[in-house]
Structure 1
Amino acid sequence: MRKQNHHHMLVDKPSIRILHAVGGMNRAGTETWLMHILRNIDRDRFQMDFLVHTDQPCAYDEEIRTLGSKIIPCLDRSKPWLYSRNLKRVLREYGPYDIIHSHVHHFSGYILWLAKQVGVPIRIAHSHNDTSEVDAHASFLRRLYTTLMKGFIQGSATTGLAASRVAAVALFGDDWENNPRWQVLYCGIDLTPFKTPVDGLVLRRELGIPEDAFIIGHVGRFEDQKNHLFILEIAAIVAKKYPGMRLLLIGDGILRSMIEEKVKQMGLTPYVIFAGLRSDVPQLMQSMMDVFLLPSIHEGLPVVGIEAQAAGLPLVLSDVITDELDRSLLIKRLSLSRSALQWSDLILNTWESQLDISKPEMLKIMEYSPFNIQNSLTNLVNLYQKLYISTQGIN
């Protein structure tokens, strides 16, 4: 009899209600990770909704609704007094939430401060980026804002998560390790797409790339952070030495038209392919790219760097990118103070010196790493449960 009771209790466990705060559910690193979590989490036990700061439809919206979650717009981010009213209304109307989990970097401070006033018991600030350098050189007003927000996070977050150690410093301060509230939680990826072989020739034809081209790949939003202008400088030099070079740029963003214009000016039109937003990044990495290039000015822990390793692709990165990413000898780093010529040499050397690690071996390494979505999901679920249980006594 007792057994049945026990089983009955499991069925009746209340579901834990979580509200994720994001800019919009588009195909970017953090959002894609959240989608992996949503698809794989036990959705009877965890109800996840998404607070977004846009009224435009985003890439993942439809799938999110299909999976039984809500997309809840909350506008006027630039007008704190209106935003405050909007957010409190959302929390009242759609709540009560057990957990608010905010992914919008500094602005999380304000969100969690408001959630604290409304009485959301578990308030998580999640840092996905290392903005320390940028923050230090910001304008006076911007520094005032970031200082204020970090203060709000210190005062209103019950837990802080970071995608990497450098991302933790950026939001929680230099001594974050001395505070048990703050911890690193690596965001994993779904390794399934890397297990199926792909026909690269079909993809090359579709994108109009010669079969024997040497392809330098880059995946990233067209924003200053990703350093596209420098990528073009490097590509121009490689193209001179090796006219069979093609630069494959995947992504979209505010600077895209400027970069397209720049490609024309530099006479690189035949060499550069703008592929836009793609849902088949793992396939493109596996079957088309020869070297992956990411000379970012700053990063938290780039998901594309995890994907490129899972694809067994050699990577050339800027040295600001944390070495927590490194699971193999596939990765080479160079300082951004080095010339485009030095970068192009490193790319060509990397391509020419074939690595002695096979793709299946590399995939195995990634399966056992914290970057496997299964391991990442287990860590997040355990954390949610632990936090939820700890608040049950108080309520």
Structure 2
Amino acid sequence: MTIRILHVVGGMNRAGVETWLMHILCHIDRQQFQMDFLTHSSEACAYDEEILSLGGQIIPCLAPSQPWLYALNFQRILREYGPYDIIHSHVHHFNGYVLYLAKQAGVPIRIAHSHLDSSALEANRYWSRYLYRSVMKFLIARCATIGIACSKIAGADLFGVNWKTDPRWQHLYYGINLIPFEKPVDPMQVRSELNLPADAFVVGHVGRFDIQKNHEFLLKIFADVVRLVPQAYLLLLGEGVLQPKIKQQAIALGIANRVIFAGSRSDVPRLMRGAMDVFLFPSLCEGLGLVLIEAQAAGLPCIFSNVIPEEADVVKPLLKRLSLSQPISNWVDAVLSWQNQIPKIQQNEALKIVEVSPFNIEASVKRLEQIYRTEFSKNKTFYELQNVLSQDLCK
């Protein structure tokens, strides 16, 4: 019997959660698990074609900011495309409303997935936002049959500080596809494609242009780096609403000719290994920071903010944590400490460490399949007992 799963996401563009879901879709047993995607956008997204080619469906459910209209759209989708055995929701606090609607529709397995510790971003918000979060967390507690967190702090953020005392809440690390990190890469060719000099010192970053990723601080760090190292370049991979603002900041800082906005890319591992010398990741908050795991698999020295969960520390010789409250000069010194320095561990050795960690996609898929099967088995047994009791009462 095929278990039918509907994943609820904003849109399937290239970002941490979405990339992980694509890794799952590519590696999961698609004879046993059918994965469809309910999105909050009707616009075409980067992963749409690949999802369709793998047998998944992309189903827009619009108007999430209009609860009544969204509810009508959601109910219609379940009637037209269902029934689904599992609703697996990835939209953080909005998970509460999604799973409330799923419960009302009779979906037996309802999963709230926490991918983020948003506490830093939520501080000092208006009372209306506080009320919204409180209501959504209440609905998650009442309507989720299971909760999954990518890290301890992500679990605490969505399920409460005592989340481990509730057997419904579980822990599942992201896994990454390691095959692209094994393929040979020609750095000269990669740098030539990006118009980077062969001897450039390249600071790299991967992340959507969103306040969470702290691009403004990143550019300030790099502005001081390039003053000390004239051959330095900054390679930014990703897209987002703040990109125009960051481009303007680069112009204002006088470093626009040293910052490369490479956009959304499908070959991130290749660019990490072929173009970057150092990976800089000064996020304001993260659930885990999947791209940091990828940077370690690429064998890159990583300098990142200490808000990143310690679970992400896999290849320790490559890692340097810094507080965002420290002066920019400390970050600059940390970046420059890797100039012309050979990493303490080779890329193939770093890859082996990631391979035997929980962040291998094979381990991640195996664990998720186990969760799905276990919950499906529980509900199957429950409904079989219900049918037996109903038949007995009708005799």
TM range (shorter): over 0.9
The one-letter amino acid of 1:316's match is I
Of 336, 356, 377, the residue aligned with 1:389 is 377
Partner of 1:243: 230
The one-letter amino acid of 1:300's match is G
Partner of 1:164: 151
Q: Is 1:199 aligned to 2:180, yes or no?
A: no
| CA offsets 1:269-310 (integer angstroms, 9 cap, x no match) | 221111011111001111211110000000001111010000
Pairing 1:206-285 to 2, within 5 Å after superposition? 206-285=193-272
Partner of 1:18: 5
2:281–2:305 CA contact under 8 A, matched in 1: yes
d(CA) in 1 for partners of 2:103, 2:256 = 52
Unaligned runs of 5+ in 1: 1-13
1:353, distance to aligned residue in structure 2 (A): 4.7
d(CA) in 1 for partners of 2:339, 2:377 = 51
d(CA) in 1 for partners of 2:375, 2:363 = 19
SS at structure 2 position matched to 1:20: strand
Q: Is 1:119 aligned to 2:106, yes or no?
A: yes
Partner of 1:6: none
d(CA) in 2 for partners of 1:362, 1:203 = 21
d(CA) in 2 for partners of 1:277, 1:362 = 25
Query: Identity of aligned pairs, percent?
Result: 55
Deviates more, 1:313-322 or 1:349-358: 349-358
Deviates more, 1:330-339 or 1:342-351: 342-351
Over aligned residues, Cα RMSD in angstroms?
0.9
> How many residues are matched?
382
| CA offsets 1:36-74 (integer angstroms, 9 cap, x no match) | 111111111101100000000100111111111110000
d(CA) in 2 for partners of 1:84, 1:302 = 32
The one-letter amino acid of 1:346's match is A
Partner of 1:361: 349
| Runs of at least 4 residues off by over 2 Å | 133-137, 350-356
Partner of 2:26: 39
1:314–1:351 CA contact under 8 A, matched in 2: no
Of 344, 367, 377, the residue aligned with 2:332 is 344
Of 140, 157, 161, the residue aligned with 1:174 is 161
Q: Is 1:316 aligned to 2:303, yes or no?
A: yes
2:48–2:58 CA contact under 8 A, matched in 1: yes
d(CA) in 2 for partners of 1:102, 1:357 = 38
Q: State the TM-score, normalizing by the size of structure 1.
A: 0.95
d(CA) in 2 for partners of 1:274, 1:169 = 35
Partner of 1:11: none
Of 367, 375, 392, the residue aligned with 1:379 is 367
1:135, distance to aligned residue in structure 2 (A): 2.4
1:113–1:152 CA contact under 8 A, matched in 2: yes
1:15–1:45 CA contact under 8 A, matched in 2: yes
SS at structure 1 position matched to 2:337: helix
SS at structure 1 position matched to 2:382: coil
The one-letter amino acid of 2:159's match is F
1:174, distance to aligned residue in structure 2 (A): 0.2
Unaligned runs of 5+ in 2: 384-395
SS at structure 2 position matched to 1:393: helix
SS at structure 2 position matched to 1:129: coil
